[in-house]
């Protein structure tokens, strides 16, 4: 297997405890362990991460931006899903 045959992995990094993982980028690696090590070296060089996830790109299923109106339309009539009915108390972070 050559480097051009290696699968593509999506990398998600959590920068601090309590925050969500965010997509940092992609990389090629022969397996999950090597993808994790390469992600650490590539995306957390300055110790900005506390947790890393690597996911095979083939395992990611996404909606199409072209179908956004029809795909997200059913949620438009459910305002209770949005936190607009209460105030967030002072001191609450990362909500």
Domain count, the chain: 1
Q: Tell me 58's DSSP state.
A: G
Whether 11 is in a domain gets the answer yes
> Is it the case that residue 1 has pLDDT exceeding 70?
no
- Range with the lowest mean pLDDT among 4-8, 11-15, 38-42, 66-70? 66-70
Structural domain of 47: 3-63
DSSP run (H or E) holding 34: helix 32-43
> Is it the case that residue 38 has pLDDT exceeding 80?
yes
Whether 74 is in a domain gets the answer no
Whether 70 is in a domain gets the answer no
Residues 6+ apart with CB under 8 A from 93: 18
Strands 51-56 and 22-28: unpaired
State the pTM of this model.
0.68
């Amino acid at each position: 297997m050559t480097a051009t045959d290696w699968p593509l992995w999506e990398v998600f990094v959590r920068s601090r405890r309590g925050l969500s993982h965010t997509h940092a980028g992609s990389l090629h690696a022969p397996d999950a362990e090597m993808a994790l090590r390469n992600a650490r070296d590539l995306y957390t060089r300055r110790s900005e991460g506390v947790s890393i996830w690597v996911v095979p790109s083939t395992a990611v299923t996404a909606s199409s931006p072209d179908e956004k109106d029809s795909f997200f339309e059913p949620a438009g009539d459910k305002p209770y899903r949005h936190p607009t009915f209460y105030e967030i108390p002072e001191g609450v972070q990362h909500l």
